[in-house]
Chain A
Amino acid sequence: MAQPQAVSTLAPRYRGLRRLGLGTLRFAKKQPLGAAGLAMVLVVAVAAVFAPLLGTGDPNLDDFTARLQPPSGAHWFGTDNFGRDLWTRILFGARISLEVGFLSVFTGSLLGLVIGVATGFVGGFVDTVTVRIVEMTLAIPALLLALALMATLGAGVDKVIIAIAITYLPRTVRVMRGTVLSVKENVYVEAARAIGASTPRIVFRHILPNVAAPYLIVASSLLGGAILTEATLSFLGLGIPPPHPSWGRMLAGNVSSYAVTAPWLVVFPGLAISWIVLGFNLFGDALRDIWDPRLRGR
């Protein structure tokens, strides 16, 4: 009697895993570059999660006896002008990059989804006003808007997240509103209305499931940009404050004055930023190709 019970509880879980595995395999076969991008992102995620184990411990530990040492067995990526281990700082920097990237895109795009769906669905005056506001916001170049926001908000991890989220808000609103406008015209929405479905039911059961895919694609395509924006803001001294090990921040300030004697200080943080941005871009492009095959290869 115990046997069938075990099968019945294990089987669905096993099937789910198998399906996920097969799905990943199929994705890798169809979109090798996208799969490579996903793998690159996963590497950074592992680095972020296991940073304390993979590095030498505290990323902010000054050691003035070991200043500006070149890469070696003890310090894989060398040390900076405070004698801090660069490898460890880059590992911990992955945490900041991913945190800022995901949280800013999540907040900005989710709010954009809500506003976009609401205005697209309601239409009329609300829609006109929202579209106007979105257009005005888009008239300010993204990085400059983020810079202006940082200028008034002041430096800080939370402030960077807010600034980037606000920058991405109008962009998501525009895309999601457009998607809702086209989804709304479908016959199944009309049918739902005809059989007397309530507005919340139509929005949650018919509209939302159908805008979920484009939403995820928009959000994933913003991730690389968000991380690049954080790095740029931090590089300009207006993002993550020291001593947080932000990759952009590591390239800021007087790094260039050490660069000739300690080029590793310039090379590794830049490679780290390029790596994660490349990973997210490749993955985002692949998702977009699957969603809209007409765009394949663009």
Chain B
Amino acid sequence: MQTFLIRRFLLIVPTLLGATLLVFLIMRIVPGDIAYLLVQGGGEGKVDPAALANMRHELGIDRPVAVQYLAWVGNILKGDLGNSMRTGHPIMEEITRRLPLTAQIALMSVFFGFIGGLPLGIISALKQNSGADYISRLLSIFFLAFPSFWLGLIVLLVGMKFFDWSPPLGYNVLWEKPVTNLQQLIFPSAIIGSHLMAIVARMTRSSMLEVLREDYVRTARAKGLAEATVITRHAMRNAMIPVITIVSLQVGGLMGGAVVMETVFSVPGIGAYLIEAIQFRDYTVTQALVLLFALIFIAIDLLVDVSYGWFDPRISHV
């Protein structure tokens, strides 16, 4: 187990370096010159060459690309993500302020996804080809096709039209204003969760169907265990592994969902920050945030890999 953990940790180093390199390169394929755009300020006409050179120096893009990259990575290792090109504020500060909101949305979505998806999937599997099974499968198919931002708009629309309600705006963290915070975040999380629910239900159903045919389930039933015990202790625990895998593959989708939902519901989280940065062509922020999302993604992937051992002791990673 220990050697597995160590090897797994070492393996993420090249992936991390690669991700920084990739993000850095994407931000450098800009057609035209960032400094030029900034000095020009979107207007027409000639640009003062001195101002241009000045701006290039200020942004540090007058240095060779390799030097720029190394300086950037070096600063990240020191915990410094640089300053916003637009406001000049340190990006790290803004991230720590906004991260709780986004993290809460992500956690609540996963919670909703499992709370809704597991029962649906289990009922589907236990009563295969029944009415309940068809309804649950149909729900999954539909919730996978609805665009999340559209569901968000519909929630806003119904809230305003029929209940004269709209979600609270502004920065509300859970430990300061718990009620406002939940009012603000419950719908974005539920919508992202509905997508996750569909995936969890589908996977749980097929995984349970397979497990229920296993010998150990028949043995458990034969020795007279209560059906509930058979399902929860013997079938479910074994059926969970593919479900966990497929949910872990959805982490990227979850982040994308958070970006979209924060925009729809005006939640000042990391996702909204990213969209804002892109709209104002704030390259330093965009670069830092895409990297941040990649880091979280890689970290969760690692956690999932390690968690398999807990669900199935046979996977002991020797």
Binding site for B on A (CB under 8 A): 33, 132-133, 135-137, 139-145, 147-154, 224, 228, 231-232, 235-238, 248, 251, 255-256, 259-260, 263, 266-267, 269-270, 273-274, 277-278, 281-282, 295, 297-298
Given A144-B255, A235-B260, A281-B141, A151 and B286 contact (CB-CB distance below 8 Å): yes
Would A277 and B157 count as touching, CB distance under 8 A? Answer: no
Given A139-B298, A274-B147; 12 other pairs, CB 8 A cutoff: A132-B18, A141-B256, A154-B31, A232-B147, A232-B149, A232-B256, A251-B150, A255-B153, A259-B156, A263-B161, A277-B144, A297-B209
Binding site for A on B (CB under 8 A): 14-16, 18-19, 21-23, 26-31, 141-142, 144-150, 153-154, 156-157, 160-161, 202-203, 205-206, 209, 251-253, 255-256, 259-260, 263, 274-275, 278-279, 281, 283, 286, 290, 293-294, 297-298
Chain B contact residues: over half helix, strand or loop, or mixed?
helix
Chosen A-B contacts, 6 in total, with CB atoms closer than 8 Å, are A148-B290, A152-B27, A152-B31, A260-B157, A277-B145, A278-B142
How far, in Å, is A123 (CB) from chain B's closest CB? 20
**A295 contacts across to B, CB distance below 8 A:** 206
**B149 contacts across to A, CB distance below 8 A:** 232, 235, 248, 251
Would A259 and B259 count as touching, CB distance under 8 A? Answer: no
Q: How far is the CA of A141 from the CA of B274 in the complex (A)?
A: 13
**B156 contacts across to A, CB distance below 8 A:** 256, 259
How far, in Å, is A246 (CB) from chain B's closest CB? 12
Q: How far is the CA of A270 from the CA of B28 in the complex (A)?
A: 35
Would A266 and B145 count as touching, CB distance under 8 A? Answer: no
Checking B30, B153, B256 against A152 with a beta-carbon cut-off of 8 angstroms, the contacting residue is: B30
**B294 contacts across to A, CB distance below 8 A:** 139-141, 144
Q: How far is the CA of A248 from the CA of B14 in the complex (A)?
A: 37
Given A141-B293, A141-B294, A153-B31, A224 and B145 contact (CB-CB distance below 8 Å): yes
Checking A140, A269, A277, A297 against B206 with a beta-carbon cut-off of 8 angstroms, the contacting residue is: A297
How far, in Å, is B310 (CB) from chain A's closest CB? 24
Checking A140, A232, A255, A273 against B297 with a beta-carbon cut-off of 8 angstroms, the contacting residue is: A140
Would A148 and B150 count as touching, CB distance under 8 A? Answer: no
Checking A149, A270, A282 against B153 with a beta-carbon cut-off of 8 angstroms, the contacting residue is: A270
Closest 5 CB pairs of A and B: A143-B256, A136-B18, A141-B252, A270-B150, A278-B145
Given A136-B22, A140-B290, A259 and B157 contact (CB-CB distance below 8 Å): yes
Checking A139, A267, A270 against B147 with a beta-carbon cut-off of 8 angstroms, the contacting residue is: A270
Would B29 and A152 count as touching, CB distance under 8 A? Answer: yes
**A248 contacts across to B, CB distance below 8 A:** 147, 149
Would A140 and B22 count as touching, CB distance under 8 A? Answer: yes
